[in-house]
Structure 1
Amino acid sequence: MSKPRARVDIAFPFRVDRRGRTAHAGHEEHVRDLIEQVLFTNPGERVMRPDFGCGLLDIVFTPNSPELAATLELSVHAALQRWLGELVEVESLDVTADDNAVRVRLQYLLRATGNRRDEIFEGSAL
């Protein structure tokens, strides 16, 4: 009986590995890459999925306020739930904007493995 192979997904951003093949990523890294895509893709950017993403980079130059932070956290949570809800369960989310960057601190549970992750995602409008 052969040993089961570990799950391998396509790496993001798409690239070619040193063997000339599509680069792969482990499941946890792949899910992190998917989260990054949801966070920093603006709605309307994807041709076949015009409602994909949450447009965080649009708020970089918006004045900070408690209302904006609460609205952002709600919209980010909703986007993650919609697009990745079968892969992750969001446990904690904190969105901050300063100067020309957005920072998202996200704690989540990987549904496939039960592992908890604590990640920081940063994006810049420049």
Structure 2
Amino acid sequence: MTAPLHAIRYPFAIDAGAGALAEESDYETYIRQLIRQVLLTAQGERINRPDFGAGIRKLVFAPASPTTASLSQTLVYQALSNWLANLIRVEQVSVAAIEERIQINVAYTVVAQGERRFLNVEVTL
């Protein structure tokens, strides 16, 4: 299985030279952008997809505790498995809630390439 030929850049942009949608030429960058998009989008934020996203930002206001970390871990795993299942296979998610930030570590396999990758995201206000 090969990587798609056209991947729209996130955040959405227009290529000034071509006057068309900017495309992301690096497939790995494209996948990382999609993961961040799922993690940082609040449910209800998208009109046509009200269930899209993990809604992690709202947990920044929750107490920094193992319970918050566990809930975040579940939300991240479910959202990524639901919305990006055709592109990645989520291997492991670990979350740490520290004061006003949430540290998310995701281990995943890119389906098209069969390669294992890691992404670390820190969510703060």
The alignment of Structure 1 onto Structure 2 pairs a total of residues equal to 121
Q: Deviation string for 1:37-75 (max 9, x for gaps)?
A: 110111110001111111100011211222221222112
**TM-score normalised per structure 2:** 0.86
- Among all aligned residue pairs of Structure 1 and Structure 2, give the percentage whose two residues are the same amino acid: 37
The DSSP-based 3-state class of the residue aligned with 1:13 is: coil
Pairwise CA RMSD: 1.9
Give the letter aligned to residue 73 of structure 1: Q
Q: Assess if the C-alpha contact under 8 Å between 1:89 and 1:111 holds in 2.
A: yes
Q: Assess if the C-alpha contact under 8 Å between 2:103 and 2:121 holds in 1.
A: yes
The corresponding residue for 1:17 is 15
Tell me how far 1:96 sits from its aligned partner. Answer: 2.3
Larger Rg: 1
Q: Deviation string for 1:7-32 (max 9, x for gaps)?
A: 23011001123413322112221111
Unmatched 5+ residue regions in structure 2?
none
Greater relative contact order (Cα < 8 A, sep 6+) = 2
Name the CA distance, whole Å, in 1 between partners of 2:4 and 2:68.
42
The corresponding residue for 1:34 is 34
Q: Assess if the C-alpha contact under 8 Å between 1:92 and 1:106 holds in 2.
A: yes
Q: Assess if the C-alpha contact under 8 Å between 2:66 and 2:97 holds in 1.
A: no
Query: In the alignment, is residue 7 of structure 1 matched against residue 5 of structure 2?
Result: yes
Runs of 4+ residues deviating >6 angstroms: none
The DSSP-based 3-state class of the residue aligned with 1:48 is: coil
**TM-score normalised per structure 1:** 0.85
Give the letter aligned to residue 22 of structure 1: L
Tell me how far 1:123 sits from its aligned partner. Answer: 2.8
The corresponding residue for 2:55 is 55
Query: In the alignment, is residue 114 of structure 1 matched against residue 85 of structure 2?
Result: no
Unmatched 5+ residue regions in structure 1?
none
